[in-house]
Structure 1
Amino acid sequence: MKRKRGYQFVLLISCFMLFTGNAYVCKATALGSVDSYETIHGTVQGSVRATWVWDTTQIQSNPQLVLKFATTNDINTIYLQMNRDVKLPYYTDFIRKAREKNIAVDVMDGRPSWGLTESRQQIADFLDWVEAYQNQVEPNEKFAGIHLDIEPHVHPEWKTNQASVITQWQGNVQYIVDRAERMKMPVGADLPFWLDGYKIPGSTMNVSSWMIRKYDSITIMAYRDTAAAIYKVAKDELEEASLLGKTVSIAVETKQSKEGDFITFYEEGTAYMESQLQLVEEMASSHSSFNGFSVHEYSSWETLKK
């Protein structure tokens, strides 16, 4: 199934509030601005095919290599980490050239500590930087959206005070989506596939469901190396997002993993990965929420054996 790249933006026409605990279901939801989205994304077409660029200095030293890799591998979305040490002209030049190749660039940041209230100022500083950037550049130099990688489950407090961390994480996410809406920017986030096994404190709703409701889209980290396993771990989030009118990009790993060979395509290589993604697409396309793939990450994918 192919759709226009990006997040679904629909008017809030009807919303059913089913009060069962704290849960509810919306038939149609919207964040961000259709006008803003269309202006920034231009003519980018098709389902998401994305990668993360964590080393932002690459747009300084090797921008053409990054864009050549993107075009060769049919990448239409780049999650680019914000780095204050990289000067503004490098961002504007890279994004402008990416747009010429129908590649959208989302500004990315996040760390486990962003799940805690004490890190709210860091989050505010990031959003302030994004807002200032968007306000001073040309339309074809703007970031297309905001992409978050927070993962508070990695933070030590997750093991010692999980309920509190979840509550604080909710507060920070609400702050982010409220700011993003005022900035008229769609916001998406990376989520582990097993997050639906945890509950919102004082509620019957699971954490994954709450996050899907808040973000415009999610990237589900379905880090497995066979089509059947990838689809199995992503299926619940695909179903949930379909009900909520949200979109899901399925993420896979190419970095070597200490957790086991089954986590990543590092051992098998590019050709095998592509064959498995094709099989996943055949299964996942039955879900209206399915919106392509995100491959983690540029540096490891670029060196992956063919």
Structure 2
Amino acid sequence: MVFSEDQNQTKKATWIWDVSKIEEDPEQAVSFLKEEKVNLVYIHIDFETFRPGPYRSFIQHASKEDIDVYALGGDPNWALIKNRDSLDHFVSIVHDYNNTVGEDQKFAGVHVDIEPYLLSQWKEDADNVINQWMMNTVHLIREAKEQDHLQVSGDFPFWIHEKKVPYKDQTLSEWMIEHYDSMTLMAYRNKSEGPNGIQSISKPIVNEASKEGKSVIVGVNVIDSAEGAHTTFHGDEPGTMNQELEVLEDAYKGNKGFGGTAIHDYSHWIDHAD
């Protein structure tokens, strides 16, 4: 990830979708993250079940280890203007929470996993969906920064540079890089090198970010995937993922567009590590 206050710090991030994994023993969770050199966590906010307690405890433990925590929310429908109320609700939960806790318990940012290409409307009229997605992105960033000046980041597919901003000679990835504080690229492959490896599919956007003076995190997957064994480290020998990520980091050494790596997701990663 990239932060305006420290653009040189390489990030190692993970997603926590299942909050129950950190509720019982937040200290143990933070211990694992520290051991794995994680310094950024995206932790899910569920509208229906949100309770401040588990987040306060986890973030407080994480802050002691210099681990930043972002509130994570995801819904393909957040790309559509008609669903902006739901997006606003997510941001308001984060603001309300931050207004009632101590400095060492606050979210440092919000992280969204929107993925509008999963909507049926994308097949029918992608340009229309992209336009709405862009407008909601501007709205999200404005709302998030209104009170807490939260960092705003998001997940994006590795092929987003192949899409153009409607009626403009600009890639959609360039536009997103310009607007978001940071991007996490879902470059879900289990080999760093090769024509369909992590480096190959992430390089176009890493290079775009470098030109913009920004950087992107390159994400990998440890969840069993129906998309094929080549898209995940699930089932690979222990240590394989770390070896491949080291190869990736070496390949990107000196490239300012590379902001670090991310592992999807914590629940499966900790099981995978056992």
Give the alignment's TM-score, normalised by structure 1: 0.83
The match for 1:135 among 87, 99, 111 is 99
Residue 197 of structure 1 is matched in structure 2 by 162
Q: Does 1:70 align with 2:38?
A: no
How far the C-alpha of 1:305 sits from its partner, in A, is 5.5
8 Å contact 2:26–2:61 — kept in the other structure? no
Q: 1:170 aligns with which of 130, 134, 143?
A: 134
What SS does the corresponding residue of 2:189 show, helix, strand or coil?
coil
CA contact (8 A) 1:152 1:165 kept: yes
Runs of 4+ in 1 over 6 A off after TM superposition: none
Partner AA of 1:95 in structure 2:
I
SS of the equivalent of 1:304 reads helix
**Corresponding position: 1:244 with 2:209:** no
Q: Deviations over 1:45-92 (max 9, x none)?
A: 942111100012333234233223212212111110112423212211
| CA deviation after TM superposition for structure 1 residue 159, in Å | 1.1
CA distance in 2, matches of 1:127, 1:180: 6
1:285 has 2:253 as partner: yes
Q: Which residue of 2 aligns with 1:265?
A: 233
Structure 1 residues 60 and 86, CA, compared in 2 at 3 Å: closer, same or farther?
farther
**116, 120, 124: which is aligned to 1:156?**
120
Q: How many residues in Structure 1 have an aligned counterpart in Structure 2? A: 268
Paired residue type of 2:125: N
Which residue does the alignment assign to 1:8? Answer: 3
- CA deviations on 1:94-136 (whole Å, 9 max, x unpaired) are 1111111221111110211111111100001111111111112
Deviation for aligned residue 1:142: 0.5
The alpha carbon displacement at 1:234 in A equals 0.8
Tell me the SS of whatever aligns to 1:172. Answer: helix
Q: Distance in 2 between matches of 1:261 and 1:65?
A: 30
Aligned with residue 95 of structure 1, among 42, 46, 59: 59
Paired amino acid for 2:13: A
CA distance in structure 2 between the aligned counterparts of 1:210 and 1:88, rounded to whole angstroms: 34
Quick one: distance in 1 between partners of 2:236 and 2:104?
Answer: 38
The whole-number CA distance in structure 2 between the counterparts of 1:83 and 1:97 is 21
Check conservation: 1:105, 1:145, Cα contact below 8 A. yes
Q: Secondary structure at the match of 2:99?
A: helix
Q: Tell me the amino acid that sits aligned with residue 115 of structure 1.
A: A
Q: Quick check: 1:226–1:276 contact (8 Å CA) kept in 2?
A: yes
Q: Secondary structure at the match of 1:223?
A: coil
Indicate the percent of aligned positions where both proteins have the same amino acid.
Answer: 32
Q: Distance in 1 between matches of 2:24 and 2:107?
A: 20
One-letter identity of the residue aligned with 1:255: I
What's the RMSD between the two structures over aligned residues? 1.7
Residue of structure 1 in register with 2:184 after alignment: 219
Question: Which blocks of at least 5 consecutive residues in structure 1 are unaligned?
Answer: 1-5, 10-33, 38-44
Q: TM-score, normalised by structure 2?
A: 0.93
